[in-house]
A and B are shown apart, each in its own frame.
Chain A
Amino acid sequence: MSRKYIFPINRVEGDLEIQVELKDGIITEAWSAGTMYRGFENIMKGRSPMDGLVITPRVCGICSTAHLKAAAKALDMAYNIVIPDTAKMIRNITMGVEMLQNDVRQAVLLFMCDFANPYYKDFPLFKEAVSRYEPLKGSSALQTLVESAAIIEITAVIGGQWPHSSFMVPGGVVSSPSINDINQCTYLLNRYRKWYEKQILGCRLERWAEVKNNLDLDKWLEESHLHADSDLGFFIRFSKKAGLDKIGKGHGNFICFGSFDMPENTDIKSLNKGPKYLPAGFSQHTRIQALQEESIFEDSTCSWFKTDDRPLHPFEGLTIPYATGGEGKKYSWAKAPRYQGLPAETGPLAQMIIAENPLFTNLVSSKGPDVFSRELARIVRPAIIIPVLDKWIKEIARNMENFCRTYQEKESGKGFGLIEAPRGALGHWIHFKNEKIENYQIITPSAWNGSPRDLNGVRGPWEQALVGTSIQDTDNPVEAGHIIRSFDPCLVCTVHAI
Chain B
Amino acid sequence: MKIICEKCGFTMNLDKSRIPEKGAKGKCPKCRHIFTIKNPGTGVSDNANKSQKTLYWLQGGGCGGDTWAFFNSEPPETSELINDLNIRLLWHPSISNHSIAAQNKLNNDLLSGKQALDILCIEGSIIRGPGGTGMFDTLLGKPKKDIAASLANKASYVLAVGTCASFGGIGADGEIEATGMQFQKWTPGGFMGENFKTKSGLPIINLPGCPCHGGVISGAIAALVSGIPLKLNQYNIPLEWYGTLVHQGCTRNEYHEYRVEEKKIGEKGCLFFYLGCHGPLVYGPCNKMLWNRRSSKTRVGVPCFGCTRPDFPQQYPFFKTRNIEGIPIELPDGVNRAHYLAYKGIAAAAAPERLKKRKTGI
Q: How long is the Cα–Cα vector from A159 to B300 in the complex, in angstroms?
A: 6
Chain B residues 98-152 with CB under 8 Å of chain A are: 99-101, 103, 127, 130, 136-140, 144
Q: Using CB atoms, name the residue of chain A closest to B298.
A: A160
Q: Kindly state the separation between the CA atoms of A203 and B101 in the bound complex, as whole angstroms.
A: 40
Establish whether residues A162 and B97, one from each chain, have CB atoms under 8 Å apart when the complex forms: no
Q: Are B139 and A8 in contact (CB under 8 A)?
A: yes
Q: Residue B190 at the A interface, CB < 8 A?
A: no
List A contacts of B173 (CB < 8 A). 43
Q: Which residues of B sit under 8 angstroms from A486, Cβ to Cβ? A: none
Q: Evaluate contact between B300 and A60: CB separation under 8 angstroms.
A: no
Contacts of B319 in A (CB 8 A): 48, 50-51, 53-54, 169
**Taking the complex as formed, is B36 at the interface, i.e. its CB lies under 8 A from any CB of chain A?**
no
**Do B268 and A176 touch across chains, with their CB atoms under 8 A apart?**
yes
**A149-B137 in contact given A13-B64, A48-B318, A50-B318 (Cβ < 8 Å):** no
User: What is the bound-complex CA distance between A62 and B66, given in angstroms?
Assistant: 10
Q: Considering only CB atoms and an 8 Å cut-off, how many residues of chain A contact the other chain?
A: 81
Complex interface bits, A47-76 against B, C-beta within 8 A gives 1, otherwise 0:
110110111001111101000000000000
A481 to B345, CA, bound (A): 63
Question: Is the CB–CB distance between B317 and A47 below 8 Å?
Answer: yes
Asked if A6 is at the interface (CB within 8 A of a chain B CB), the reply is yes
Check: A29 CB closer than 8 A to any chain B CB: no
B165 CB to closest chain A CB (Å) equals 13
Closest B residue to A168 using CB positions: B302
Contact B318 A54 (CB under 8 A): yes
Contact of B82 (CB < 8 Å), options: A10, A136, A167 = A136
Residues from chain A with Cβ under 8 Å of B311 in the complex: none
How many Cβ-Cβ contacts under 8 Å join chain A to chain B?
227
B38 within 8 A of A: no
Verify if A109 is at the interface (C-beta below 8 Å from B).
yes
Give Cα A163 to B136, complex, Å.
25
B318 touches A10 (CB 8 A): no
Alpha-carbon separation in the docked complex, A109 to B218 (Å): 20
Interface string of A464-478 (1 = CB under 8 A from B): 000000000101110
Contacts of A6 on B, CB cut-off 8 Å?
140
Contact between chains at A149 and B72 (CB < 8 Å): yes
- Stretch of B24-32, B87-95, B336-344 that contacts chain A: B87-95
Task: Give Cα distance in the complex from A174 to B210, angstroms.
Answer: 20
Partner of B78, one of A113, A136, A171: A136
* A155–B296 CA distance with the chains assembled, in angstroms: 11
Contact among B79, B96, B127, B211 for A10, CB-based, below 8 A: B96
With a cutoff of 8 Å between Cβ atoms, the chain A residues found around residue B100 in the complex are 7-8, 475-477
B64 contacts A114, CB within 8 Å? no
CB of A53, distance to nearest CB on chain B (Å): 7
Top 9 nearest A-B pairs (CB, nearest first) are: A61-B65, A161-B291, A476-B99, A48-B317, A61-B64, A156-B292, A475-B101, A156-B294, A160-B297
- Show 27 residue pairs from A and B whose CB-CB distance is below 8 angstroms, ordered by the A residue: A7-B100, A8-B100, A11-B96, A13-B64, A37-B137, A37-B176, A40-B170, A43-B174, A50-B317, A54-B319, A60-B63, A60-B64, A61-B211, A64-B65, A145-B77, A149-B73, A157-B294, A157-B295, A160-B295, A160-B297, A161-B286, A162-B291, A164-B210, A174-B301, A175-B302, A184-B294, A476-B101
